[in-house]
Chains A and B, each alone.
Chain A
C-alpha cells in the first residue's frame, strides 16, 4: 500500500473537481455565493461609537437619556433617600440598558500590553450588541427574546418566565433581571413607556419605539455625534461611511456572535 505525492495530488485534484461539479449540479452558484459575501437587502441596524468624541460627560448624557425614557430604575441613587441600598444590593440589583466600563473590562481578551497605555482605563459606552447570531435568543425557552429581521434583539416582557437562561448565555452582560419591584426606584415615570414587573429580564431594544416613528435611538440623539446610527445594508448610510473611513473594533468577535456595535478607537 502507500501513495506517493504525485498520485495523491492527482487524486486530490480529481476529488476537488468532482466535488465542485457536484455542488454546481445540486446547488448551482451556491459555492460562489457563499464565498463572496452578498449584498443583503432590507434593513440592518447598527451603531458605531466614536471613542474620540465620547467623553465621560457625553456618555453620562446618553445613559440619562435612555434610562429616563425607558423607566429604568436607579438603585445607585434612589429618588427617595429612605430607599437607599447597601453597596452589595446596589451591585446585585443594578439594571443597565446602556452603561460605561473601562477598556480592560469591555474588551476582555484584547489586552494590549504597555504600548496601549492610552486604552487602559478608557471608559467605553456599552449596550446590547444586537448580535447577528445572538446566544440569548438561542437559549430562550419561550421565544420571549427573539431577533427581528432588521437585527434588533427584542424582548417580550409579558412572555418572559424569568428563567435567566439568556443572562447566562449573553457574553456581554447586557441583560438585567428585576430582582424586586423596580417602580419605587424610578425617579419620574414616563407614562409613554411601560414599567416592568418583578421577575422578568430586560435590556436595550435599540429604541424600537422611536425607530417606528422615524426617530433615532435616544442615546444617539443625546450623543452629539459620538454615536452613529444607521442601516448597514445601505451603501451611503452614516454607519457604512464611518466603517469605511475608520478602523473599528467589536467586543468578543471571536465568539461568532457577530456583534453590531462598532467602536472607533
Chain B
C-alpha cells in the first residue's frame, strides 16, 4: 500500500516539499537549541513549561478524538462512519507523533530520554503518559493500517484485530485523562488544581478534533476523487456541537467554583488571564477572544441551518479549532505558572526560535498526515473504480 505514497499529482509533491522544508528549518533551529540549551526559548525559572508542552497538550486531544469516529462504527454499528474511521485513525497517528516530538524538543537532556524506561517510576504521571501515548500510537497504526489493507483486498479484517480495535476505544480518553493528571495533581498550582481538568480536556478535544476532521474531510473531497460523505460530515458536526456546548458548560462550572469561593490562589490565575495582574497581561485579548468566540461558535453550531450549510459549518469549525487552541495552547500553561508560587508575575512570551521549532514539529506531523491520507485516499479511489 505504501507505494501509493510515491505516485501523486504535482500538487501532492509540492505540498510534501513545502512541509519537508519547514520541518528541516525547524530541525536546524533545534540543533541550535541543543547546543545552547533551552535558553533560546522564552521559558524561565517561573514559567518552566511553555509553547512546546502546550502544543503537546492540545495535540493529545486531537489524537484522542479519533475515538469519536471509531466508537460509533464499532460499538453502535453506525455503518456510515466506516468510510471515515481511517481518516480519524491516521489523524491520531500524526497527532501522537507530534506529541512525542514536542516532549523530546522540550527535554533539557534528550540524550537521557531512555532513563524513563531504565528507571521506571510508577508514581510519576509522566511515566504513565509515556505508556499510554506510545500504546495509542501503536494501536492506531496497527488498526488503521490493517483495516485499510483488508478493505483494499475486499476481505474482512483479521479476527485478532477486533480486540485491539475495542481496546483502542477506552485507550483514547485515557491518553487525555493522563495528560490532564500531569497538571491536576500539583499542590500549589491553583489554576490546574481542579477535578474538572480531565473532563474539560476531553470536551475541548472532542470538539476540536472532530472539527479538524470535518475540515480535512472537506479538503479530501475537494482535492481527490474520494468523498468522505455528507452524512458523515453532518454526524461529526453534531458531535462537535455537543462537545463544544459541554466544554463551555464546564468552563462556567470552573468559574463558579473559583469566583464564588474567592480563594485567591485559584482566582489570581483567572485574573491574570482575563484582566491582567500587577499591570501585566499580554494574553488578555487572546483569552477574551477565545472564550467569547467559543460561546459564539457553540451557539452557531446549535442552529441546524448553519450546521447543514457546509461553508458556514467549515467557518464555525475553524473558529472552534482556533478558540480551543488559544485556551489550551496559550492560556493553560502560562495561566498555571503565572503568578508563580511566590505570587510574582513573570510573564512568558515564546521566542522566534521557539516558534520556528514548533512550526517544524507541526510540519513534520502534517507531512506524516499527508502521506498517510494519500495512501488511504488512493485505496478508497481504487475500490471505487
A residues near B (Cβ < 8 Å) are: 89, 91-96, 101, 104-106, 108-109, 135, 138-144, 159-165, 167-173, 176-181, 197-201, 252, 255-257
Contacts and interface: CB of A to CB of B under 8 A. Distances in A.
Interface stretch (B64-72, B124-132, B319-327): B124-132
A160 B119 CA distance: 11
Nearest to A181: B37
Interface in B97-139: 103, 106-110, 112-113, 115-116, 118-119, 121, 123-127, 130
Nearest to B47: A92
Interface of B: 36-39, 42-46, 48-49, 103, 106-110, 112-113, 115-116, 118-119, 121, 123-127, 130, 182-183, 186-189, 264-265, 336-337, 340-344, 346
Contacts, number: 145
B37 A180 contact: yes
A255 B39 contact: no
B37 A179 contact: yes
User: Can you list the 9 inter-chain pairs with the closest CB atoms, starting with the nearest?
Assistant: A162-B108, A171-B188, A199-B108, A92-B44, A179-B39, A180-B39, A141-B126, A198-B37, A105-B342
B341 A161 contact: no
Contacts of B118: 142
A144 B127 CA distance: 13
A7 B344 CA distance: 56
Given A142-B115, A142-B116, A177-B108, A170 B341 contact: yes
Nearest to B103: A163
A123 B337 CA distance: 23
Contacts of A180: 36-37, 39
A50 B113 CA distance: 43
At the interface, is chain A mostly helix, strand, loop or mixed? Answer: loop
A141 B178 CA distance: 14
At the interface, is chain B mostly helix, strand, loop or mixed? Answer: loop
Nearest to B128: A141
Given A93-B45, A199-B37, A161 B112 contact: yes
Contacts of A92: 39, 42-46, 346
9 contacts: A105-B344, A108-B343, A141-B124, A167-B48, A168-B183, A172-B188, A173-B340, A179-B44, A255-B188
A186 to B, nearest CB: 16
B38 A177 contact: yes
Given A141-B116, A168-B189, A179 B38 contact: yes
Contact of B107 (A104, A139, A163, A197): A163
Nearest to B130: A141
Contacts of A163: 103, 106-108, 126
A165 B37 CA distance: 17
B108 A160 contact: yes
B70 to A, nearest CB: 29
Nearest to B114: A161
B119 A165 contact: no
A162 B107 contact: yes
Given A109-B264, A169-B186, A180-B39, A162 B109 contact: yes
A104 B186 contact: no
A105 B341 CA distance: 8
Nearest to A159: B115
B106 A108 contact: no
A109 B108 contact: no
A139 B124 contact: yes
Contacts of A165: 124, 126, 182
A101 B343 CA distance: 11
B45 A94 contact: yes
